[in-house]
Structure 1
Amino acid sequence: MFTTEFPDSPDKVRELTFSHIKKEAPADQYNNLIGVKPWAIARQYFAKNTQSFTEQLPYFQIKIGYVLMITLFYKLGLSPPMSVLFTGFISYFISGVLLFYILKLLFPEKYILAALLTAGIMFMPTITFMAGESTPDMFIFLFILMFVIGLIKKWGQWRMFLLLLIMTFIRPDYITFALTYLGAVFLFDYFTEKKIDIVLMAQGIVILSIYVFVMRFYNYPGWVDLFYDSFIHRRPIISAQPAHVSLSAYLQVVYSKIIAFKKVTLAVSVMIGLIFWMSKEARVRMISVLFLGNVYIKFFFFPQSADLRLFFPFIFPIFIMTLYVLSQKYNNTRLSTIV
């Protein structure tokens, strides 16, 4: 945000960033941010060295939609740290409303059930954690919920495309979700209706082109650099040391992280099993497998298994699909009883 306001003053951008955080953050959190521990060398560089700090910015600048929302609240009068927190809080509130609406679609006339489920879900530790973090995860979660509404109500392909485009602007790594969804629908239509949908192909090309443009415009370092800095060695100055990730190093990281991913694997396996057991509808199965696939696509690109917020936006729709097939079974049983 400050880079847009002061594009030719990187020193000022760094100073403003840390000074605003220092004013409002608790002392222990600020000390953790600037790296007071001897081993936190990279964080010490980020706080004191403008080149080091500036080279980290592309990791965040590419999240255009999230930055724009923070900037909006900043222009409305909130301080920079509060703009970040308020984005999470307002996203949390809207997500709760959307979730209640989804549950009302699944269980018509069951207001108490929908309200209780909404309250129970929204107070889950993962969701409350996402709401308080300075990340776009809570913000994008509300668009995932909109996307689920679109799936349930069978919105047209252009409305779904718009949501995919917005999500890619908020978190460009959601390009994998956007392309896999478009590809899955394309193949589903081809095998079930024997038609080739050129519109879906064009939408995929548009989203991919925008993604490439954003990456190049902000000089994004790339996946290898992100993986190296996240799992192998956090470089104080990116340009001073090239990143290299061998296949052996990558597999070692994945192996060590996938063991800690076993609870997620168990949970999604149970939900997918229930969906396939209770529903023979091909479209429901396809959508469920799509979200399952994206859980593991995300993992293999960025295997931070301890950070559930990264995977939750893909896990939760599988839970909603489980509720969907349960609701279909309940509604059919109720209809048969009435008849």
Structure 2
Amino acid sequence: MKLKWGLSFLFFILGLSFLTYSCYQNRVYDWDMPGYLGSILSWEHPNEPKKVHELVYSTIKEEASAKEFHDIVAYNHANEVFTADYKAFGEQLPYYQIKVGFNVAVYALYKIGFTGPHAVLMVNIFSYFIAGLLLFYLVKFLFPKNYFIPPVISLFVLWLPPVRSMAENPTPDPFLFVFMLFFMISILQKRSSLVHYIILLCCVLIRPDYILFAATYLFATFVFKFFNENKKLDYSLIIQGASLALIYIAIIKYYHYPGWKDLFYDSFFYRRPLISAEKADFTFKQYFDYFIFKLINFKKITLVSLILLGAIFYFSKEIWIRILAVLFFSNIYIKFIFFPDSANLRFFIGFVILLFIIFLYAISKKYNGFQLRKIA
């Protein structure tokens, strides 16, 4: 058995190493990099916005290709202004500074010797590799007697273009994905609510908008426990939810985050060179029209998610598993409501993969890990 698992893991590691190296070779220097780099250099050079601005673009220029650097500094009029005006650049930084957990990881790599741009990208490369190991562990946990299934399924998930794209681009999503997998492990292994809370806290620190996921999970857990434990209120879940909300508010206030309306306006209507010079005004009809247009182009995620949700309900009768499936499915569309960018699947692929893991759990339980006869 040890030999078979050793060969299985060796095959997986070789595949994971190849995919990780491929992501590194195809790493992308895009227009989000100056924001994250500016965030950590602001810690290194407080109260020196001009110096931070100069260092951001000069260090990226040293590493990025001529084409990539041109896209960063001249992709649109706003980017041209950010490159020329340190004040305009500084007004954009709160969009990136609030992702404290990701910036801390980038800063740690920067302090141990990586260049600024490399530090931003290497967090994702390392995260991709760690996520692969966690995926293998998860699938092995679900299919403990199948040496073939864990490496094949894990490598298939890691091979998916949206997953590789996360690792190749300067974004906190791969780092966040690692903690989402830790969260899934803690759920399936029935860890304590304190462990769940710590992982959710890390998720909120990496991407504060994941307060919505944390809130929906805690609410679902609260309701489930209430109806399954003699209608007793679990005050610890209320305290956890309140503390996460306070942490979220503190981050938003500390970094003077403009707000969702500004983010939506700058992302989908018009990227303002100077946030202070123009209000982010748009009507509900404009938002709704844009939402419907993007929803039509969201059909692949919708189809895959619906199939997984239906399959989970078919294979599993466990109430908690069904609740988790609905939770992950709902969060895909909660995220989409606030940020309907159907072209960037990296925003949603994490929840789809968690839904897929729940599906694997359901069929593993029903068919006993595909190792014995079907269990009625």
The TM-score, its normalising length taken from structure 2, stands at 0.87
2:233 maps to what in 1? 196
1:294 maps to what in 2? 331
Q: How does 1:319-330 map to 2 (within 5 A)?
A: 319-330=356-367
Matched, 1:154 2:190: yes
3-state SS in 1 of match to 2:191: coil
Alpha-carbon distance, 1:315 to partner: 1.2
1:84 maps to what in 2? 120
For structure 2, the 5+ residue unaligned runs are 1-39
Alpha-carbon distance, 1:232 to partner: 1.0
Matched, 1:265 2:322: no
Equivalent in 196, 219, 233 of residue 256 of structure 2:
219
C-alpha separation between the residues in 1 aligned to 2:348 and 2:149? 26
2:351 maps to what in 1? 314
The TM-score, its normalising length taken from structure 1, stands at 0.97
- The letter for the 2-side match of 1:236 is P
Equivalent in 239, 242, 247 of residue 210 of structure 1:
247
3-state SS in 2 of match to 1:242: coil
Equivalent in 80, 85, 88 of residue 44 of structure 1:
80
C-alpha separation between the residues in 2 aligned to 1:269 and 1:337? 25
- The letter for the 2-side match of 1:158 is L
2:64 maps to what in 1? 25
Q: How does 1:125-204 map to 2 (within 5 A)?
A: 125-193=161-229, 194-204=231-241
Alpha-carbon distance, 1:333 to partner: 7.3
- The letter for the 2-side match of 1:97 is L
2:15 maps to what in 1? none
- The letter for the 2-side match of 1:226 is L
Alpha-carbon distance, 1:335 to partner: 5.1
C-alpha separation between the residues in 1 aligned to 2:101 and 2:369? 41
Matched, 1:279 2:316: yes
Equivalent in 250, 268, 276 of residue 239 of structure 1:
276
C-alpha separation between the residues in 2 aligned to 1:140 and 1:317? 13
C-alpha separation between the residues in 2 aligned to 1:267 and 1:118? 18
C-alpha separation between the residues in 2 aligned to 1:72 and 1:337? 50
Alpha-carbon distance, 1:127 to partner: 1.2
C-alpha separation between the residues in 2 aligned to 1:337 and 1:187? 33
Between stretches 163-172 and 112-121, larger displacement belongs to: 112-121
2:24 maps to what in 1? none
C-alpha separation between the residues in 1 aligned to 2:371 and 2:121? 44
1:75 maps to what in 2? 111
For structure 1, the 5+ residue unaligned runs are none
C-alpha separation between the residues in 2 aligned to 1:120 and 1:217? 41
- The letter for the 2-side match of 1:94 is I
Equivalent in 251, 262, 279 of residue 288 of structure 2:
251
Aligned-residue CA RMSD (Å): 1.3
C-alpha separation between the residues in 2 aligned to 1:301 and 1:149? 28
Alpha-carbon distance, 1:245 to partner: 2.4
Alpha-carbon distance, 1:231 to partner: 0.8
Deviations 1:141-190 (A, max 9, x none): 01111111011101100000000000000000100001110011001111
1:101 maps to what in 2? 137
Whether the 8 Å contact between 2:146 and 2:369 is mirrored in structure 1 is: no
Whether the 8 Å contact between 2:364 and 2:370 is mirrored in structure 1 is: no
Deviations 1:195-250 (A, max 9, x none): 21000000000000000000000000000000001111111100000111211111
Label 1:331 to 1:21 Cα distance change in 2 as closer, same or farther (>3 A): same
Alpha-carbon distance, 1:334 to partner: 4.8
C-alpha separation between the residues in 1 aligned to 2:135 and 2:298? 26
Alpha-carbon distance, 1:332 to partner: 7.5
Equivalent in 41, 52, 69 of residue 13 of structure 1:
52
Corresponding pairs, count: 335
C-alpha separation between the residues in 1 aligned to 2:54 and 2:184? 41
C-alpha separation between the residues in 1 aligned to 2:369 and 2:163? 32
Between the aligned residues of both structures, percent identity stands at 43
Deviations 1:278-333 (A, max 9, x none): 11100000001000110000000000011000011111100111111111111087
